[in-house]
Amino acid sequence: MSPERGSGVSEPAIDREARFVNREGRAIDREGPAATFEVGLLGFGTVGSAFAALLEERAAAIEELTGRRPRVSGVLTRRGGDLEEILGGCEAVVELMGGLEPARAHVLRAIESGRDVITANKQLLCEHGEELFEAARRHGVQLRFEAAVAGVVPVVRVLCETLAGAHIERIHGIVNGTTNFILSEMERGLSYERALSEAQRRGFAEADPSEDVSGRDAAAKMAILARIAFGAPLGLGDVPHEGIEHLRNDDLQYAREFGLGLKLIGTAERRHGGLSVSVHPAFLYAGHPLASVGGSFNAVTVESDAITEITMSGPGAGGRQTASAVLGDLISVISLPAPALAPSRPLQVIDDVESAFYLHMEVADRPGVLATVAQILGEEGASIKAVLQRGVDDNARLVMVVHPLLESRMREAVRRIGELPCARSTPRVIRVIEEEFQ
């Protein structure tokens, strides 16, 4: 804001000056050559080494853009490096070590010593987010974390900046690439076990995949998104989650006959003046913007009255992709101040919400069975939208989609149906996201 500099032709030096008046306390010599911007790197695994390589590759372009050439000035790994020494020689810290400790202690120390911090650590933000946000506010430093949720998909920035003033109603996200890959393979006919092996073979799943397939990883990310979008300080314990281990590929085949595809969906939405955040496998109609997100991609749909909806998708993981998201944050740290995060404010967590359901059950193939099942559903308030019935030996397989009702009432209906003398197996239930789009 310097209208008095209003004459003459712009030169790179003036550009640089215009940019740097915005960053107090970091004045560089305006006459001299562009200074470097020193970055302390915590962690040097897949993402850490990819970040260091990408930073070097793009350093010249970033210098042209911001006037400062970023450079890794120190690295802390399990085997070596001294945190205080690294902090003494850098302006910003990039935390890519993962896990809760010592990451939490290191990040807090970096913040307390006035360093901006960029992290890709979703567990850390989910468990200790409020403490870190508060520390960053108190010390006037930036805490950026685009890479912690949905890889390169720019959902954190879009929520914090583009939609900072929007009244967000709902977020639906596919925020775990491992499970999306497995479900895509199951849709092609593979069993859960074979799809998981294939994911492991291709590097999309860990040897121990439980964090991903249990829905815990997605739940942590949804807690972070809910924090940004709704200002509610949530931890992992506030996010009921269900994984994909119990899914069977015949559910996917039946659902296809109803025009439905299966995804592991994280939802955060306003309901009855409170907030409902959860992660569940859910069926989507073909027109839903998340229905076509295949393989290991992530995607997030944000809905609000004024914007209708925005959907963003991209690779959910990968060392170089995650490093790119970190790099975008680093450039903002170099050139922009932190966008304001809406103040945190506890919202009531609603845990019994309405949903449509897919119901799969095996029953004795006798007259009156469908009527009995339909009556129980009716008594619990479930209205049937579509039914498929198939004979299998002496049994019948009944597959239904029911219109939205409270989860607790659906659970009660399923319990009652499972206790019928004609029931041949425990009914299986999967949520259906009912909106059809456009």
- Point out which span in 165-173, 232-240, 246-254, 256-264 binds a copy of itself (CB under 8 A): 165-173
Q: How far is the CB of 158 from a copy of itself (least distance, A)?
A: 5
Told to check if 273 binds a copy of itself by CB under 8 A, we report no
Q: According to CB under 8 A, which one of 107, 323, 396, 400 is a site residue for a copy of itself?
A: 323
Nearer to a copy of itself, 214 or 292 (CB): 292
Taking each helix axis as running N to C, give the angle between helix 249-257 and helix 177-187, from 0 to 180 degrees, rounded to the nearest 10. Answer: 70
Q: Tell which residue, 423, 427, 425, 428, has the closest CA to residue 364.
A: 423
CA 297 to chain centre: 11
Nearer to a copy of itself, 15 or 193 (CB): 15
Q: According to CB under 8 A, which one of 46, 81, 131, 139 is a site residue for a copy of itself?
A: 139
Give the active site residue among 122, 221, 263, 385: 221
Q: In sequence order, what DSSP letters do the residues of 41-66 get, joined into one string?
A: EE--SHHHHHHHHHHHHHHHHHHHHH
Site for a copy of itself in 43-82 (CB under 8 A): 54, 58, 61-62, 64-66
Told to check if 26 binds a copy of itself by CB under 8 A, we report yes
**Residue carrying the six token digits 């996917």:** 252
Two tokens, residue 240: 């009921």
Told to check if 335 binds a copy of itself by CB under 8 A, we report yes
Q: How far is the CB of 423 from a copy of itself (least distance, A)?
A: 39
Nearer to a copy of itself, 341 or 388 (CB): 341
Nearer to a copy of itself, 159 or 277 (CB): 159
> What's the rounded Cα separation, in Å, for the pair 186 and 193?
9
Convert residues 292-321 into a mask of x (bound to a copy of itself by CB under 8 A) and - (unbound). Answer: x-xxxx------xxxxxxxxxxxx--x-xx
Calculate Rg over the CA atoms of the chain: 25
DSSP H helices, 298-361, are 319-335
Told to check if 132 binds a copy of itself by CB under 8 A, we report no
Told to check if 113 binds a copy of itself by CB under 8 A, we report yes
**Residue carrying the six token digits 């425990």:** 426
Q: Residue 385 catalytic?
A: no
Told to check if 3 binds a copy of itself by CB under 8 A, we report yes
Q: List Cβ neighbours of 71 (8 Å cut-off, separation of 6 or more).
A: 36, 37, 38, 39, 55, 59
Convert residues 375-414 into a mask of x (bound to a copy of itself by CB under 8 A) and - (unbound). Answer: ----------------------------------------
Q: How far is CA 46 from CA 7, 14, 51, 184, 406, in A?
A: 49, 39, 9, 25, 44
Q: Which residues are catalytic?
A: 221
